[in-house]
Structure 1
Amino acid sequence: MITQTVLNKLEFPEVRRRLSVHCQYSVASDLARELTPTPDRRVAETWIATTAEARYLLDSFPEFSVGGARDIREMLTKVEKGARLQPSELLMIMDTLAAARRLKRMFIKLPEYEERFPNLLDIIHGIENVHRLESALEQSIGPRGDVLDSASVELARLRKAVRVAHSRLTERLNNLRSSSRVGSAMQENIVTVREGRYVIPIRADARNVVRGIVHGTSASGQTLFIEPFDVVELNNSWRERQADERQEVNRILDDLSEKVADHADVLRRMVDSVAEVDLALAKARYSRAIDATRPVFHDTTTSAQRVRSEDIGHPSHIVSLREARHPLLNPDTVVPLSLDIGADFRVLLITGPNTGGKTVALKTVGLLTLMAQSGMFIPAAAHSELSVFPDVFVDIGDEQSIEQSLSTFSSHVTNIVSMLRRVRSTSLVLLDELGAGTDPQEGSALARALITRLLESRAMVIATTHYSEVKAYAYATPGVENASVEFDVETLSPTYRLTVGIP
């Protein structure tokens, strides 16, 4: 199990955030921010192969993209509960249907797509044809999110009736305000609307000139907004026709919402498929941005599985990195590292000065492992090889906590004790500054005991320390190898370069 604490310690959430920036679809962006490493090697292989296909696709056809799809998941939940979708929401569903259809059509037009992109094709298969639903929506909803007259014969008839009623009403009002009796009583020679009904503005001192219903007054009280009795029936007719129109529009929206609800499962699979394609493309874009390559997963089935006491290497897993770089550091200044662990030893102990790059080396291995198990290329030279670890355990503190108090030391010990209860041979264990935060003699003894216990568990371990006794212990213990970050004696500054075999 890889916990959220481990992901946070290795700064994986920041990698996910940077990956999400390369997504074009908001649902894919959500997937990127929630991406979790898989403990299953076959799944990891499939994810990496999918990313490789996406990288080849973008390299060969740069114009290929996911565009126009919207996040309609909330709307699907609403209609399944019997809610009525609004025209703007139905328009978003239309946009998503059209985007998914374009994506699928664009994909199957690619040359030899079945042979070149089998994993992407499996995802594309999740986009099903829903022509009848799309046709019903296109017939009913306009590009501005309005219900079209073509939505139903009855709606077209009712809207015509509304226009006729409105024309008769405005014609009568224009006749009234052009008459000398009413015109002389008007504050302004205009027609306006109050409470959804047409009225004319009459001066308060001419109230008795125009008989009708008062719908309001101006702020000064000098103007009354009156609906003349002569147009009450025409106003009523217009309002009734509008009510009939609204009722028919609601019936159409209910009918379309029911159709969407009937296709909710299909639409969810469509959204998921479009998002998965976009996530694969985002992984490909991010790999180009950080100059990453496809990692090779070590085939544990070809490794010796027998556990013998004299074994010094790992029984099944290896990590072999070439020119690996931490993806969150400046690529122009970061110093690449290369290391092999698992074949000849399974515990690597890194020593060196403070701020010399020990913790960065530790985090680089851990973070690249998480990236690979999440289907992402890694910033390392080609043919770098990693294993899939079901469990990753981390105990890394910052510089201050490493140096400081008993409470911090106790926290580290508690974390390590919990780790030892769960660690197994397929685990990756990363420990920063073994035994730090306490008396040097006690810390050194604790570090040696911890390494001994981890050797017995047969886990793969990378740890850092500055205790000379631990370096000597590693030198004399089979299965443990020393490494160091170089220090330039002339400039008295670290070079950040990792050297394996030299403490």
Structure 2
Amino acid sequence: MSLLPPIPAPVTELSQSALGWDLLAEFLSSYAQSGVGRAWLSAAAPSSNPEWIERQHTLVDEARVLHAAGVRPAIGSLFDPAEALAKARLEGAVLEPEEIRQVVDLAEQTTAWAAFLRDPGDDLAERLPALREAAAGMVGYDLHPLVEAVRAKLLPDGSLADDASPELKRLRREMERQQRAIADSLRGALRRFAEGGTTQEDLITIRGERFVIPVKAEWKRRVPGVVHGASSSGQTVYVEPLETIELNNELVRLLEEEQAEIHRIYAAMTRQIGQYAPPILAGARVLAELDTVMARARFAEEYNAIRPVLEHAEAAQPGLSLKAARHPLL
């Protein structure tokens, strides 16, 4: 389901190719910030519904007021969150880190737009009634608790910060200590085996989450331990010395506990998002319409467009009067 409602009473008897409508719609869509806005504008069709037409012109007029005042609403994180939100409301579901990051970015931009509309400043307070009405369904909600709770635990790429929970912080500190102990043990082994020319190079590497050292294939029996594969040439094998096996086992255990804790934290975030699903979706719909309106406002400013005066069908002399009009693509 689209975030934006369909255009009411679309005009079907229209020579779109002769008017260049499709080219105009595609050109207009380039002014949108989001994929949602671009898709709606490129597929837009003329309407014969006078109430809808007047509302759209009023929204664009107010958006031009914002544009003139230097107000640029942030809409770059807009996407259709319906699927992710439906998933978040399922019992036991866990959103992927990127899904969580996208939803939180969207909630943050929704919150910023709602905050602006609540207090746009004295100069704009009485000049945005249509935009305020369009956002009425989201202005009453406060997504700050969700944004702050989740944002504090996330790194920019969606992964978890060390202090996302006390347990995660403890595990990662223990893992760092364990890795240092393994590295010290392997460096000692490298020094011993290097004296006889057994090791291929002074290097510690990882194979299958196990820290290993490279050993010349013909000398692998001289290094007591477990072989974890060989190089593509076959000249080197990667050996986990016996003395580090228990250290590596402990590190693997810590890694498993870390993954379990990460899963628990993401599951808790998913439940939080699920609780805020209705206002997040409402906010996405508001931002989607705002994106198309601001796109049309920027287009109108760039081409010095003016709002048409529409007569009612029952007017005494209905007709069409175009004064100094020009096609924007010609």
TM-score after normalising by structure 1: 0.58
Matched AA of 1:47 = Q
1:212 aligns with 2:225: yes
Task: Map 1:82-481 onto structure 2 (within 5 A).
Answer: 83-107=93-117, 108-127=119-138, 128-179=141-192, 184-300=197-313, 303=315, 317-329=318-330
| Partner SS state of residue 319, structure 1 | coil
1:36 aligns with 2:45: yes
- TM-aligned CA deviation for residue 48 of structure 1: 1.1
CA contact (8 A) 2:11 2:48 kept: no
Q: Deviations over 1:49-96 (max 9, x none)?
A: 11111122222x134333442325253344355653222332222222
Matched AA of 2:44 = L
Q: Deviations over 1:397-445 (max 9, x none)?
A: xxxxxxxxxxxxxxxxxxxxxxxxxxxxxxxxxxxxxxxxxxxxxxxxx
RMSD of aligned alpha carbons:
2.5
Distance verdict in 2 for CA 1:165–1:48, change over 3 Å: same
Matched AA of 1:118 = P
CA contact (8 A) 1:182 1:210 kept: no
How many residue pairs get aligned? The number is 316
| Partner SS state of residue 184, structure 1 | coil
Matched AA of 1:236 = N
1:14 maps to which of 23, 30, 49: 23
Q: Deviations over 1:316-341 (max 9, x none)?
A: x4323323323332xxxxxxxxxxxx
Matched AA of 2:100 = L
| Partner SS state of residue 206, structure 2 | strand
The whole-number CA distance in structure 1 between the counterparts of 2:271 and 2:193 is 56
CA contact (8 A) 1:66 1:99 kept: yes
The whole-number CA distance in structure 2 between the counterparts of 1:3 and 1:45 is 16
Long gaps (5+) in structure 2: 1-8
Report the equivalent of 2:72: 64
Higher relative contact order (CA 8 A, sep 6+): 2
- TM-aligned CA deviation for residue 172 of structure 1: 1.3
CA contact (8 A) 2:36 2:80 kept: no
Q: After the TM superposition, which parts of structure 1 deviate over 6 Å for at least 4 consecutive aligned residues?
A: none
Report the equivalent of 1:24: 33
TM-score after normalising by structure 2: 0.86
Matched AA of 1:70 = L
The whole-number CA distance in structure 1 between the counterparts of 2:196 and 2:211 is 16
| Identity level (%) | 28
* The structure with more strand, counted as a fraction of residues: 1
Matched AA of 2:206 = V
- TM-aligned CA deviation for residue 183 of structure 1: 6.2
CA contact (8 A) 1:176 1:182 kept: no
The whole-number CA distance in structure 2 between the counterparts of 1:15 and 1:72 is 25
Q: Deviations over 1:235-257 (max 9, x none)?
A: 11101101110111111112212
Distance verdict in 2 for CA 1:183–1:140, change over 3 Å: farther
Report the equivalent of 1:372: none
Long gaps (5+) in structure 1: 305-312, 330-503
